[in-house]
Structure 1
């Protein structure tokens, strides 16, 4: 089943196709730069996607076929980040969006092409998996703007890049290529731009064929392991326990005995 909904004056789009959801930055004329309204809408769009029936994977990408996103729309900073109070409000909107991706119960795949800078880099590192075209360029230019990166989102960057590469990118503001990003562990796969969508959708399909409750349990457990927070551990244990008597667990055992591919319902 296909469905579609727009947010933030159609600059953020959410859509579904069978078991896969799509979160799309829709400002190609601005290299999909994320404005203040879009930051606020990202959690709402993810919530909408998670409510659309049996969605098992979400692919996050930029519209236009060239750029993932140039990050926060700096052209509006004189208005939305003009003093301490507005800057704090803006950073809270960033942190809330990063958290929404990180805490989304469904696995999120970032499909990256072209530029992936600043806040968009933060969203990509908050995703579970990242695939990119070989023309992709990555940068965290906070030091060139005199800004500090949200503290809670820094954990995603360090987890995705490793401490040394994270320090190098943040301290110098330098850009790295897709190959450098893959070597650092940021990217799962690098491919040609023409093959990017197929590569991302094949990955999404593999995710969707597995038991949704198992994937949710794995995501929650991985998050708990990375955060070290008691509340994350308790949530992971609760989700894991829900698999014990699930219909999908029974289907998995039955399919194993019958030597066939299991058909999971997410229940």
Structure 2
């Protein structure tokens, strides 16, 4: 029996749920494929302003890949390359999502689960959540396309610590090392994740997308061209910019429309 990836919507927020009952939401190949499909669809949805990714229940975000299927899905070089190409596509889809993304982390966030969370813009975590990638105990290395996201998030020192030692980190240490954005009480983590989404939704949606775009661009060491600097003022032609100024001067809450 395979797991599933579910998607629900409420107002301008979509919730994507990793579900694999009995396996702490371990991610099988079909789930990786479906995750990529869903995120691609949501990214182009003009009615949405934020995406929350979470695990089913409160015991795990995802406890890694579904190891049982490795014996049949990853048993040759060709199948292993195809398998991890699909994993890489799903992770890239999350990273490339035009909408702000939040990982709501409860319980185990291990291996592939940690890789997904690392692609999100924010990681709101419960105090009892735990993080790691102890694949050294399984005798295989992390695929370079999956390693890249973790390296981008926390740097080589923390990545090597995770992979070489195989330790499982508690939420406070994960926060200190940059794996978590925010840690709150277990009883508050769901409310805090959705409160974060509402704060995002209150802002101008085009601005959120531009901020994601420019943060990524500025991590590239190539200097900005004059055309790019001019493009950074595209907001001047938007209705949302005019609405934001009008609302500020009129001392009222802005009503942004994403155009």
Do the two structures share a fold, i.e. TM-score over 0.5?
yes
Kindly tell me: are residues 240 and 157 of structure 1, through their superposed partners in 2, closer, same or farther at Cα, counting changes over 3 Å? same
- Cα offsets for 1:36-77 (capped at 9, x unmatched): 001111111112223444211100000122210111100110
Q: Report the counterpart of residue 250 of structure 1 in structure 2.
A: 242
Kindly tell me: are residues 206 and 222 of structure 1, through their superposed partners in 2, closer, same or farther at Cα, counting changes over 3 Å? same
Alpha-carbon distance in 1 for matches of 2:135, 2:84: 13
The yes-or-no answer on 1:43 pairing with 2:36 is yes
Q: How many residue pairs are counted as aligned between the two chains?
A: 259
Instruction: Give the Å deviation of 1:215.
Output: 0.5
Alpha-carbon distance in 2 for matches of 1:85, 1:56: 39
Kindly tell me: are residues 234 and 118 of structure 1, through their superposed partners in 2, closer, same or farther at Cα, counting changes over 3 Å? farther
**Equivalent of 1:220, from 198, 204, 213?**
213
Q: Report the counterpart of residue 84 of structure 1 in structure 2.
A: 77
**Equivalent of 1:133, from 97, 119, 126?**
126
Q: Report the counterpart of residue 192 of structure 1 in structure 2.
A: 185
Instruction: Give the Å deviation of 1:255.
Output: 0.9
Aligned-pair RMSD on alpha carbons? 2.4
**Equivalent of 2:159, from 154, 166, 170?**
166
Alpha-carbon distance in 1 for matches of 2:192, 2:225: 32
Q: Which runs of 5+ in 1 are unaligned?
A: 1-7
Match of 1:30, SS? coil
**Equivalent of 2:57, from 57, 64, 77?**
64
Contact 1:98 1:153 (C-alpha < 8 Å) held by counterparts? yes
Structure 1 residues 114-123 or 163-172, which shifts more? Answer: 163-172
Q: Which runs of 5+ in 2 are unaligned?
A: none
Kindly tell me: are residues 9 and 50 of structure 1, through their superposed partners in 2, closer, same or farther at Cα, counting changes over 3 Å? farther
**Equivalent of 2:253, from 252, 258, 261?**
261
Contact 2:102 2:124 (C-alpha < 8 Å) held by counterparts? yes
Instruction: Give the Å deviation of 1:87.
Output: 0.5
- Provide the TM-score with structure 2 as the length reference: 0.92
Kindly tell me: are residues 168 and 100 of structure 1, through their superposed partners in 2, closer, same or farther at Cα, counting changes over 3 Å? same
Instruction: Give the Å deviation of 1:186.
Output: 1.6
Contact 1:68 1:115 (C-alpha < 8 Å) held by counterparts? yes
Instruction: Give the Å deviation of 1:155.
Output: 3.0
Alpha-carbon distance in 2 for matches of 1:90, 1:62: 22
Kindly tell me: are residues 133 and 264 of structure 1, through their superposed partners in 2, closer, same or farther at Cα, counting changes over 3 Å? same
- Provide the TM-score with structure 1 as the length reference: 0.90
Alpha-carbon distance in 1 for matches of 2:141, 2:125: 26
